[in-house]
Structure 1
Amino acid sequence: MLQRNGHELLRDGRKLLRDGGILLRNGRKLQRDDHELQHNGGLLQRDGLKLQRKQHKLYF
């Protein structure tokens, strides 16, 4: 009984480790995606400012 439980615990432990690895990988992917989104947001802001400046020149 104890031996079987031990085997089950080991199996569960391995499963948890695998799931943890997957979660870590997904977390890193999310961080990378977030970084890219921030970068793209920065670019959009810059382009927006450029457009505003052009618009300003058109009016005055």
Structure 2
Amino acid sequence: MTAFGKKWLTGLVTGALMAVSAGSLAAEQKTLHVYNWSDYIAPDTVANFEKETGIKVVYDVF
């Protein structure tokens, strides 16, 4: 294998490991971002969802 090939392969493996690490970090945070119309869902829907799932909701409206 050439020096260029080794560098390319090393970069590819490093990038793959970084992508996997970022995915597992995002899974640990458990945050859901919702962008919705105002008054589109009941006021207690977000609170009930957070209570039942343990996932934090960031709810923004138009």
- The structure with the largest strand share of the pair is 2
- The structure with the largest helix share of the pair is 1
Q: Which structure's CA Rg is the greater one?
A: 1
TM-score relative to the length of structure 2: 0.48
TM-score relative to the length of structure 1: 0.49
> Which one scores higher on RCO, CA 8 angstroms, separation ≥ 6?
2
